[in-house]
C-alpha cells in the first residue's frame, strides 16, 4: 500500500504526510512547545493531557521497574509520535517519557487528537501504521538487548538518535546513555572510548559528535538496518 505523499513541512514526518485538508484542520490547534533536556513529558501511570509530534526534540519512553529503575524502550523524534496508548484508548501513560535532546515539539490536547482521529481517515491510517512500527521496533529492541554486544547496541542507539536529531552533534552524558542502554556507567565509558578511539564518534563534555556514520553503521548490529527498513516500508 502506498503511503500518503508529503504535503506539508511541519517538521514532523507523520504530520507532513497528512492530506492537506486534515493538516489544515489540525494546524490551528497544534501548539509548538519547547522541551528541555531531561524534562518529563509524561509521568509514568498518570493520565496523558497532550500527545506530541516532535520536530527538533528527541524523547525517550522509559519502562519503570519496581525500584524506580528505568530502561528505554523507544526513542521518538521527528519521525514519530508520543501518545500511542491514547490512540489505543488508554488514558494513562504506560511509560515515563523524558526529553533526551532539547528542542521543539508540536503538541495537541488529547480530546482534540481523538476528535481528529474520528473525523480524519488520513490521520487514523498514519497512527495505525506507526503503532505497527512501534510494536515491531520494540520487539526488535528486546531481541537486540538479549543477544547483541553492548558496543553494537550503543552504535545502533547512536544511529537512531542521529536519524531523529537530524544533526551530527547532540548533547548526551554517559550517565544518560547508560540508562538508555540499561548498563552501568563504567560499561558506557569503555564502549564510548572504543568508538571514539576508532574515530567513529567524539564524546566530550556531555556532547556526542558523529564523525564517521558509515563506519558507525558497520559497528551496529543488524537491528538498526532492520528497523530502518521496516519504517520505510510502513510509513515512508
Give the three-class secondary structure for 28: helix
Phi-psi region of 166 (alpha: psi -120 to 50; beta: other; left: phi over 0): left
Q: Among 33-42, 70-79, 122-131, 183-192, whose mean pLDDT is lowest?
A: 70-79
> What's the Cα-to-Cα distance from 155 to each of 6, 99, 163, 173, rounded to whole Å?
30, 20, 12, 15
Confidence (pLDDT) at 86? 96
Indicate if the pLDDT at residue 232 is higher than 60. yes
Indicate if the pLDDT at residue 7 is higher than 70. no
Q: How confident is the model at residue 157 (pLDDT cuts 50, 70, 90)?
A: confident
- Cα(118)–Cα(18) distance, integer angstroms: 15
Q: Among 25-39, 124-138, 173-187, whose mean pLDDT is lowest?
A: 173-187
- CA atoms in the 13 A half-sphere facing the CB of 201: 29
Q: Which three cell numbers stand for residue 74?
A: 523507544
- Per CATH, the architecture of 149-220 is what? Orthogonal Bundle (1.10)
pLDDT in tens, 184-202: 889 989 999 999 999 999 9
Phi-psi region of 103 (alpha: psi -120 to 50; beta: other; left: phi over 0): left
Average pLDDT score over residue span 44-71: 87
Q: Name the CATH superfamily housing domain 13-142.
A: Jelly Rolls (2.60.120.10)
Average pLDDT score over residue span 115-129: 95
Beta bridge partners of 210: 201
**Grid-cell match 533536556, residue found:** 37
- Cα(62)–Cα(94) distance, integer angstroms: 9
pTM over 0.75: yes
Task: Supply φ then ψ for residue 70, to 5 degrees.
Answer: -140, 145
Annotated domain spans of the chain: 13-142, 149-220
Average pLDDT score over residue span 206-217: 93
Confidence (pLDDT) at 68? 62
Indicate if the pLDDT at residue 207 is higher than 80. yes
Indicate if the pLDDT at residue 1 is higher than 80. no
Cβ burial, residue 148 (10 Å; 0-12/13-18/19+): middle
Indicate if the pLDDT at residue 85 is higher than 50. yes
Amino acid at each position: 500500500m502506498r503511503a500518503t505523499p508529503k504535503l506539508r513541512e511541519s517538521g514532523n514526518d507523520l504530520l507532513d504526510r497528512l492530506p492537506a485538508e486534515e493538516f489544515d484542520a489540525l494546524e490551528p490547534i497544534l501548539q509548538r512547545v519547547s522541551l528541555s533536556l531531561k524534562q518529563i513529558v509524561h509521568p509514568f501511570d498518570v493520565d496523558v493531557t497532550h500527545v506530541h509530534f516532535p520536530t527538533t526534540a528527541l524523547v525517550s519512553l522509559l519502562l519503570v521497574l519496581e525500584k524506580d529503575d528505568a530502561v528505554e524502550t523507544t526513542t521518538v523524534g521527528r519521525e514519530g509520535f508520543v501518545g500511542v496508548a491514547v490512540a489505543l484508548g488508554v488514558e494513562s501513560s504506560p511509560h515515563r517519557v523524558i526529553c533526551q535532546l532539547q528542542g521543539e515539539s508540536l503538541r495537541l490536547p488529547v480530546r482534540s487528537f481523538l476528535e481528529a482521529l474520528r473525523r480524519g481517515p488520513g490521520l487514523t491510517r498514519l497512527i495505525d501504521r506507526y503503532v505497527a512500527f512501534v510494536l515491531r521496533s520494540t520487539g526488535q529492541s528486546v531481541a537486540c538487548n538479549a543477544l547483541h554486544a553492548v558496543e553494537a547496541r550503543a552504535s545502533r542507539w547512536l544511529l537512531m538518535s542521529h536519524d531523529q536529531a537530524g544533526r551530527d552533534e547532540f548533547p548526551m552524558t554517559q550517565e544518560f546513555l547508560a540508562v538508555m542502554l540499561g548498563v552501568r556507567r563504567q560499561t558506557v565509558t569503555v564502549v564510548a572510548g572504543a568508538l571514539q578511539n576508532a574515530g567513529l564518534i567524539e564524546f566530550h563534555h556531555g556532547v556526542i559528535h558523529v564523525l564517521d556514520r558509515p563506519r558507525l553503521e558497520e559497528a551496529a548490529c543488524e537491528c538498526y538496518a532492520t528497523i530502518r527498513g521496516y519504517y520505510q516500508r510502513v510509513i515512508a
